[in-house]
Amino acid sequence: MERTHVIVVRHGETKWNTERRFQGHLDSPLTQKGLSQAQALTRRLTNQRFSALYSSDLGRAYQTAQIISAATGRGVVSDAKLRERNLGIFQGLRSEEIKTAYPEEYEIYRSRDPDHVIPGGESLRHQVERNIGCFEELARKHVGESIVVVTHGGVLSGLFRHTLSIPLQAPRRFEFMNSSLNVFAYGEGYWSLRTWGDISHLDAATD
């Protein structure tokens, strides 16, 4: 059985990551550390054989993908379906700011109701279904190949839960790191996990 190997990587650290702000569909530039992480990830990927490079169209992911592209010669194909969850009224704010401005909405958000739509945004279920649909479309397009997809923490989380049948409303007991390397395989209509949270390439990245 031929499988598609999907190397999914999270973008490098951003300014809003360091400030613990909700990013969603808004954007924040990579920090100097984030750029170093992306470069270290790129060095790792130059030793990987892959046939295509895809990215979320949000700036932090696309900037990371462009660094990979420049070193590997693979053009970046961006797709809005690979975006993080639209967090609506929460975007650009820290948790404490959201609790003050939108206490009721924040409590519902914290309850992890997968069908709750954040005002101005989308539900967790809609985000994950959007992302999984895109991953499966790409996997079917590249049967027997390896591809790289640059995306976001929430997108990684959704694919991880989908692969391991972890309910969306279950508490998160796993981490997803900036510029981590995660490998999934797809074939015969199902996903399997090969590698999760590999950041060994970041040992040499500057702080």
Catalytic residues: 11, 84
Cα–Cα distances in Å, from 172 out to 69, 175, 176?
Answer: 32, 8, 10
Q: What is the Cα Rg of the chain in Å?
A: 17
Rounded distance, CA 182 to CA 207, Å?
A: 22
Residue 8 · residue 159 · CB < 8 Å: yes
Structure tokens given for 17:
């990551």
Main-chain dihedrals φ then ψ at residue 20, nearest 5 degrees: 60, 45
The alpha carbon of 80 is separated from its chain's Cα centroid by a whole number of angstroms, namely 12
